[in-house]
Amino acid sequence: MTRATTAPPATPAPVTPAELAAAHGLTLSGARPSLPSYVAQLWARRHFVIAYATARMQATYSTAKLGQVWHLMTPLLNAAVYYFIFGIVMHASHGVPDYLPFLITGVFVWDFIGSSINTGTRAVHSNLGLVRALHFPRASLPLSSVVQLFQQLLVTMGALVILLLAFGQMPSPTWLLAAPALFLMAVFCAGCAMVMARIGSKNPDVSQLMPFVLRTWMYSSGVMWSIDAMLRSDHLPHWVTMMLKLNPAAVYIDLMRFALIDSFRASQLPHHVWLIAAGWALLAGVGGFVYFWKAEEEYGRG
């Protein structure tokens, strides 16, 4: 009779950390939620975004004697310099009626666009301590920077209205069109800020390059000179003409000038300009948000 042998008990397979965490209901800290969930989380923290932006705006010039007056002085000083160089020395004012309102409006609008994109570049990288310490939608950071600059823009817009009245511009119902133009521009800038925030979080040196990029963009956006006047007098390649006409900064500047300046209202603004402005806002706003959301897990690492 043979003796029955029993097989040794099987060794249980090792449990991976991921399986152990899942068994106990643990999830990855900073994991990217679904897009609808991310939007809901961001909306729930809208009060934080506004409060954080307001606190930053108050702290920006807290050590300066003139305080928040610099919100207004900075674009005005820029406009004075540009008027001397471009308006007087380079004669860019020739053929442009109401050149001073034309220039001031362009400078105020560009100041918001350029500052939003430049500040967005550092939005995540300059707040790494906050990103690593707390769990919250990281899009709050670039959005709060745009909200801060938009609050400053609203202050300077009040000053812009006073300056326009001083230069003989009369109030008109078209001034109300400034509101949708500002909204579309803010959405566009928010999207661009989120794109640059993701790029800047991994490549901080981009912030050193942005002033040169933004300066080139400003010169091609008709801030100090009229794009339409140049297109009428110069024979440019078709692709250059199309790039100048579709330039989003130039589009938003033109909308604000049309809304606020008498001589611009005299020439009918093509309806497709509003479609271009809405298209840029939709493309940058939605595309920039999705682009930023896709890297939600990566912010704060390294």
* Confidence at residue 63, expressed as pLDDT on a 0 to 100 scale: 63
pLDDT class of 182 with cuts at 50, 70, 90 = very high
Is the confidence at residue 254, as pLDDT, over 50? yes
Instruction: Say whether pLDDT at 60 is over 80.
Output: no
Q: State how far the Cα of 114 lies from the Cα of 189, in Å rounded to an integer.
A: 9
Q: Is the pLDDT of residue 268 over 80?
A: no
Distances (CA, A) of 88 to 43, 93, 95, 147, 189: 49, 7, 13, 35, 31
Confidence of residue 18 (pLDDT cuts 50, 70, 90): low
Residue among 30, 37, 255 at smallest CA distance from 124: 30
Angstrom distance (rounded) from CA 35 to CA 204: 26
Query: Do 292 and 194 meet the contact criterion of CB atoms below 8 Å apart?
Result: yes
DSSP state of 187: H
Q: Pick the range with the lowest mean pLDDT from 89-103, 215-229, 230-244.
A: 230-244
> Mean pLDDT over all residues of the chain?
83
pLDDT tens sequence across 121-153: 999 988 888 888 888 899 999 999 999 999 989
Hey, is 204 helix, strand or coil?
A: coil
- Return the pLDDT at 26: 47
What's the pTM? 0.84
Q: Which residues neighbour 68 within 8 Å (Cβ) at sequence distance 6 or greater? A: 57, 58, 60, 61, 155
Tokens of 26: 């643990």
Whether 276 shows a pLDDT value over 90: the answer reads: yes
Beta carbons within 8 Å of 283's beta carbon, 6+ residues apart? 191
Dihedral sign computed on CA atoms, order 229, 157, 265, 113: positive
Closest among 99, 83, 76 to 160, alpha carbons compared: 76
Quickly list DSSP for 7-43: PPPPPPPPPPHHHHHHHTT---TTPPPPHHHHHHHHH
- Taking the C-alpha atoms of residue 281 and residue 279, their distance in angstroms, rounded to an integer, is 5
For the chain, give the percent of residues with pLDDT over 70.
83
Looking at residue 89, what DSSP letter applies? I
User: Cβ distance 107 to 79 under 8 Å?
Assistant: yes
What pLDDT, on a 0 to 100 scale, did the predictor assign at position 234? 65
